[in-house]
């Protein structure tokens, strides 16, 4: 099964972070894709990605309007979008991931 | 913390009169003032606009969720408003918004409140949940729908 991981984050960390996470989860299940999502919100970081999650994933979606810790993703196929993009166009994000259109992340 | 502890009948308005984004933020904020949930209307509204300036909270799907963590919030609250004709909220999909949630959090908001709001946000992504709110004709019905969040 295709394995995705994602990080969602927004400035206030009250609403968009969780909407984007929910949208990616629903869409991933429609595509029968596995997804693990780290949310960086006002409650702090939840479901923090483990090194094994990162090592074993096929692609990474960063849907964030604030800075997040990126070094851990070096060498993995990754896309960076705004948090609203994940809410509006989740299907394209996931389809592009499966089609291998993400670039390898470099520092 | 449950969503039902943040909202009650007086914090619901089913026939918003506003025609613009600025007006609706004011109309919803006024409800907070009337219910003594904020200490200063003008300064609270400024804080709401400050968040909007980072990107409209009109997320599409006919929903807008203006929100702020503000020192003028005296009681963590959620106001729900509905506009029958829709209001241009500079939404991401360009469509008018009909369902409005104004989230007012004190600056030192507890995680318990935030947990409830995170769940609300997640539920709003689901079409069935939005449809129920769009169809709700009474404030009591709105509360009943929102309470289903507390059961998840």
Distance (Å, whole) CA B99 – CA B95? 12
Give the model confidence (pLDDT) of A53-65 as tens digits. Answer: 999 999 999 999 9
- Which of the following is catalytic: A7, A9, A10, A36? A10
Give the structural domain span for A82: 3-104
Report how far apart, in Å, the C-alpha atoms of A60 and of each of A70, B17, B136 are. 11, 44, 39
Between B9 and B91, whose confidence is greater? Answer: B9
Q: What is the CATH number of the domain that holds A17?
A: 3.40.50.2300
Residue in chain B closest to A15 (alpha carbons) equals B121
Q: Which of A20, A7, A36 is nearest to A84 (CA)?
A: A20
Structure tokens at A51: 């090194």
Phi first, then psi: give them for residue A32, nearest 5 degrees. Answer: 55, 45
Domains in chain B: ranges and CATH? 3-150 (3.40.930.10)
Query: Chain B: nearest CA to A34, how far in angstroms?
Result: 19
How many Cα atoms are found within 13 Å in the side-chain-facing hemisphere of A31?
A: 23
Are residues A17 and B118, on separate chains, in Cβ contact within 8 Å?
A: yes
Give the model confidence (pLDDT) of B93-143 as tens digits. Answer: 889 999 999 999 998 766 777 888 899 999 999 999 999 999 999 999 999
Q: Domain tally for chain A?
A: 1
Mean pLDDT in residue range A42-58: 95
A29 contacts on B by Cβ (under 8 Å): none
Q: What is the ipTM of this complex?
A: 0.87
């Amino acid at each position: 099964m295709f394995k995705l991981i994602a990080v969602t984050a927004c400035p206030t960390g009250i609403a968009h972070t969780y909407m984007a996470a929910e949208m990616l989860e629903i869409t991933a299940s429609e595509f029968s894709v596995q997804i693990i999502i780290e949310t960086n919100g006002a409650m702090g970081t939840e479901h923090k990605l483990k090194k094994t999650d990162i090592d074993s994933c096929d692609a990474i979606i960063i849907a964030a309007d604030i800075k997040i810790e990126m070094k851990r993703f070096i060498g993995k196929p990754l896309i960076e979008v705004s948090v609203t993009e994940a809410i509006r166009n989740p299907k394209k994000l996931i389809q592009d991931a499966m089609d291998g259109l993400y670039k390898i992340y470099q520092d | 913390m449950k969503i039902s502890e943040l909202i009650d009948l007086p914090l619901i308005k089913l026939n918003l009169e506003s025609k613009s984004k600025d007006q609706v933020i004011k109309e919803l904020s006024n409800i907070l003032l009337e219910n003594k949930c904020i200490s200063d209307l003008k300064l609270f509204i400024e804080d709401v606009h400050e968040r909007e300036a980072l990107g409209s909270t009109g997320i599409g799907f006919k929903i807008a969720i203006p929100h702020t963590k503000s020192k003028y919030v005296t009681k963590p609250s959620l106001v729900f408003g509905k506009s029958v004709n829709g209001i241009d909220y500079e939404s991401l999909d360009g469509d008018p918004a009909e369902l409005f949630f104004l989230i007012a959090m004190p600056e030192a908001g507890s995680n318990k409140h935030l947990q409830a709001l995170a769940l609300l946000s997640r539920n709003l992504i689901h079409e069935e949940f939005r449809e129920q709110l769009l169809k709700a004709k009474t404030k009591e019905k709105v509360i009943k729908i929102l309470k289903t969040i507390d059961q998840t």
